[in-house]
Structure 1
Amino acid sequence: MTAILLVLIGMLLLLNILQWIYRKKRAKQLSYMIDKLTSIMDSSPQEQLLLFTEDREYRRLLNTINRLLSQNRQSIAGFARTENAMRRMLANISHDLKTPLTVVLGYIETLNRQPDLSSQERERLLNKVHMKAIEIVELINRFFDLAKLESGDKEIPLTRIHINEMARNSMLMFYDMIESEGLQAVIDIPDTPLYAWGNEEALSRALNNVLSNAVRYGALGKVIGLNVRSNDDRVLIEIWDKGKGIHEREQALIFERMYTLEDSRNKSFQGSGLGLTITKRLVELMGGEIRVTSKPHEQTVFTISLKRLS
């Protein structure tokens, strides 16, 4: 009996010693994890938390922590991109507002300093001031529109829309402009009605933005085209030109806020850099997508894809 009691006491002591060793080991591992995690957060955001352990719960904890570190890295990178985009956007906004305002002030100064101007010249300058003021208001309205789209304040109810008719109407709006620029219009719209899930106002604005862009940048190719086609589940609207095109490095950037191609700062290529950004947001709110492919001086194609309805 005494021997059995001694064996039990020995086993309890051994168990207590093993538990103490295990707790001490876990405490050491936990202390290492805390110190290492603090170091990573303070100075090495690209690093991961590594610990060799057979403890399954610790491995789960490590996986969770490393996922959080990965999300934190993505958040930091996203914040940096947003911050850079905001800086670039503010610089471009300042530029785009300053240019017409400077012109307006110049005309007003001329009117003030030369009271003896003829009524015809005075009227001409006032018309210039009026045109520039309208340009400023339109630019500000684009900023507000983009802000509403990105904040989710602008509701776009979706319905069944007739794509063939909308594409024809959009092309007709630009037909006179295309002809006045000496361009050829190539239209390929099927007779069979095609319907898609979308919003007429949003799609009309998106098409007008892309067509305006094609006329502005593709005029050198002397042709502007619009194709409508479909597959089993999508309706595709393609607007194309054979102008100077978009280099591959710029194709991923043209839908960003305030991004403009190099020539857009020239007088004949004026643009706010917001048209394609707004277009992308509108198309996405309709559950669609817009993409671009381009071979300079061969063909540049903007494709709007929407869900097809029977």
Structure 2
Amino acid sequence: MFSSIKWKFILVYFLLVFIAMVIVAVFIIQRTETKQLEHITDTMNQHVETIISASSYITEDDWTSVRGEIQKTINEWRLDGRETLYVINNADVPTIIASTSKNYDTANVQNALSYKSLDPTLILKALDGKKNEGLKTDFNENIKTKHIAYPVFNEVGKVKGILYMTSDLSDVYQTIDEFKTILTNATLLALGITIFLGFLIANSITGPIKDVTVKAEKMAKGDFEQFVQVKSDDEIGQLANMFNYLTLKLKSTIEEMDVERSKLNTILKYMTDGVVAIDTDGNIIHVNPIASKVLGLNYDDIQDSKKTIPFPEDKISIKMFEKGKTDKIEGDKIIEIHDEVYKMGYAPFKNEKNNIAGLIIVFQDITKEHKLDNMRKEFVANVSHELKTPITTIKSYTETLMNGYDLDRELSNKFFSVIDNECDRMARIVSDLLQLSNLDYNKTKWKKVNLSVKKVIDDVCLKLEPLIEDKGHTLSIDIEKDISDIVADKDGIEQVILNVLSNSIKYTPNNGEIRIKARQENDKVIISVKDNGIGIPDEDQKRIFERFYRVDKARSRELGGTGLGLSIAKQIIEEHKGNIILKSKYKEGTEVDIILPLNKDV
């Protein structure tokens, strides 16, 4: 609240009046209290002096002998109702011989120093011949009293006794409390009026400023139809006039700039390449949607924002400006951002003084070309590697047989068996490659017919039954009742399920569990194959459908895999407008969902 100048103004005004009223109140109360005490003191002194001069018994040297007369005299004396007089005799022990106090016992002489209503300090000082006065507070009854100890001397100048007078100050402090109440109420009233007037005055000052602020904010958002009413000729009126003048000039200038900017923005916005301009401090001046996406920036925020946005050099490290090395600013390089590959070209632009004012960077997306090139290289390397191993094995065993070593029939048959297995392996690789080639070039002819999901699954399980029994796996099949038939190529779908199920059998340790489920959801049929095998690490799952990609290359070759099965399965399912989803947890198991759409009967 106090961040507003209006409330600051009211607060200052409030504090000034409050401090002034407090000072005045303190001064008045202190002066009133002082004057009242001085008046009471003077009155008490006059009464004591009058009694001393007017009473003949007081002039006697022996007050004890005239004690009754002194008591009678002071009883007849007209004292203020608040005052009490004590006559104290100077003896070995100062004693009260007479008093106007109601609590005083005239039949007994009382020790003045131990009398609770008196101040022994003042008595002792008075006995030394010094007139004393002071204030005493009774905290139990919350009563203040004024005390005067007035020594009375004999003819030789010796103190023969003391006239000790007290005066109750309750009326004085009651009057002062009333003063405090009046001043407090007056202060509260003054502060209330101060806040009200301060609010009105502050509004008259901050109102126009607030109006200018609100309209300036609208101008900042692009609304330049803002004008402030001029209501005075003072500084605030001058501010309003200048604001209106600024609005007109700014509107005219921006309209001219908008035309040019519109041309440039249209060109940059619809470019297929990313373009970003940065100044010599490394801050972004302009960026088109493609470049903002490349750099991970929000294009709309950059367009609307007025703050400085630095170029994200954490993503692209460029030593853009080095003094004396302007020849190194221009160039191009290949960079990679978030798995995307770009060819980045950059060159400087200059200002009206022909000095370098910044840098233009252009991003050309070459991700597809780069990936295709890498895939081509990797594919050639993988094919070469996959064929090299069986060829080497065949060559080495064949050379051994051709050299005519004296081999027994059992060993020779073993060599021939290895050669035969390696030939089968090469045949499988070539067959899979031919199938992938046909899928890539759409040369595969599909014979789509109505297929029973249950029959397809049963046929695949029957083919793999020996392998399942050999590893001791438990196979459970759960097919939803009344599941609809699918329209698909029988051989293709069987191959997909065969590839997925055989992987589960191979990569599940002996005596494992494999579950096959089939269910219908809306217009789709989902066939799930789940095992409790070795699973697939998270980092390998995103590449599991790539050609020749294996999680464990040695184990895959040992089990007879080519690394092409899942890639072929994925392409077959995609040709049927379906999808294949793999979910796996390392060392816990894998689940593969084969999703096929329901089509009309053929």
TM-score scaled to structure 2, two decimals? Answer: 0.40
Using the aligned pairs only, state the percent identity: 26
Could you list the per-position Cα deviations for residues 100-135 of structure 1 after superposition, in whole angstroms to 9, with x for gaps in the alignment?
Answer: 111111211111223432334323322321221121
Quote the Cα distance in structure 1 between the aligned partners of 2:258 and 2:376.
43
Displacement, 1:75?
Answer: 5.4
Question: Relative CO higher for 1 or 2, CA cutoff 8 Å, sep ≥ 6?
Answer: 1
Displacement, 1:58?
Answer: 4.8
Aligned-pair Cα RMSD in Å = 2.6
| Aligned partner letter, 2:403 | R
C-alpha contact (below 8 Å) 1:263/1:269 kept by paired residues:
no
Structure 2 equivalent of residue 176 of structure 1? 466
Could you list the per-position Cα deviations for residues 171-228 of structure 1 after superposition, in whole angstroms to 9, with x for gaps in the alignment?
Answer: 1211210110111112112342431232111101111111121112223571222111
Structure 1 equivalent of residue 370 of structure 2? 80
For residue 63 of structure 1, the aligned residue among 269, 279, 283 is 269
Quote the Cα distance in structure 1 between the aligned partners of 2:577 and 2:557.
36
C-alpha contact (below 8 Å) 2:504/2:530 kept by paired residues:
yes
Unaligned runs of 5+ in 2: 1-256, 276-289, 292-340, 343-363
**Which protein is bigger by CA-based radius of gyration?**
2
Could you list the per-position Cα deviations for residues 235-280 of structure 1 after superposition, in whole angstroms to 9, with x for gaps in the alignment?
Answer: 0001111111112221111011211112455653442211100100
State the aligned residue count: 260
Structure 2 equivalent of residue 166 of structure 1? 456
| Aligned partner letter, 2:542 | A
Structure 1 equivalent of residue 233 of structure 2? none
> Following superposition of structure 1 onto structure 2, how do residues 244-263 of structure 1 map, counting pairs within 5 Å?
244-263=534-553
Structure with more of its chain in strand, by fraction:
2
> Following superposition of structure 1 onto structure 2, how do residues 1-310 of structure 1 map, counting pairs within 5 Å?
54=260, 56=262, 58-66=264-272, 76-219=366-509, 222-265=512-555, 267-309=557-599
Displacement, 1:286?
Answer: 0.5
Quote the Cα distance in structure 1 between the aligned partners of 2:268 and 2:259.
10
Structure 2 equivalent of residue 19 of structure 1? none
Could you list the per-position Cα deviations for residues 57-98 of structure 1 after superposition, in whole angstroms to 9, with x for gaps in the alignment?
Answer: 554333221468859958511221222222222222122111
Could you list the per-position Cα deviations for residues 13-43 of structure 1 after superposition, in whole angstroms to 9, with x for gaps in the alignment?
Answer: xxxxxxxxxxxxxxxxxxxxxxxxxxxxxxx
Name the SS for the 2:596 alignment partner.
Answer: strand
| Aligned partner letter, 1:62 | L
| Aligned partner letter, 2:271 | I
Structure with more of its chain in helix, by fraction:
1
Distance 1:122 1:63, change over 3 A: same
Quote the Cα distance in structure 2 between the aligned partners of 1:178 and 1:225.
12
Could you list the per-position Cα deviations for residues 131-166 of structure 1 after superposition, in whole angstroms to 9, with x for gaps in the alignment?
Answer: 211211111111111111112222324333221110
C-alpha contact (below 8 Å) 2:584/2:591 kept by paired residues:
yes
Distance 1:266 1:165, change over 3 A: closer
